[in-house]
Amino acid sequence: MPRPPRFSSPASTASNRFDERPGHDNVDARFLHEHRTVVIEDGAEIARFVDELATANNLLIRARSLNAGRTSAEFKIDGAPKAITAAFATCPPPPLAAPSSAKTKRGAKA
């Protein structure tokens, strides 16, 4: 029996927080048709998630949906660095962009 097609749901949003760090609301993610799988496709968002996952002990996921209300789940993370290495062995995530600290002077002439 063929599986039903997977469609994303624009009526849902996802948020996450690692440990007691500031959370990330409205993550650029989509929920697949069965509403059990969340997909993050943006390379920068994947890099940020993996970077924070590598050093975290807990992960809180929140999902909000017009159809299903609000749901949250907390996960104890153990062995994340090994899991990340295995998951990205053949396809590493893009590097995390460093925050820009260089400031330019406007109107300065040599």
pLDDT tens per residue, range 6-33: 445 567 788 999 999 988 888 878 887 7
CA distance 72 to 65: 12
What pLDDT was estimated at residue 3?
47
d(CA 80, CA 84): 6
Nearest 5 degrees, angle CA 84-CA 89-CA 90? 135
Q: What residues does each domain of the chain span?
A: 12-87
Q: What is the pLDDT of residue 65?
A: 80
- pLDDT tens, position by position, 48-102: 899 999 999 999 999 888 777 888 999 999 888 998 899 888 987 767 666 555 5
Q: DSSP for 15-55? A: EEEETTSPPEEEESEEE-TTSS-EEE--HHHHHHHHHHHHT
Q: What does the pLDDT read at residue 73?
A: 92
* pLDDT at residue 63, rounded to an integer: 86
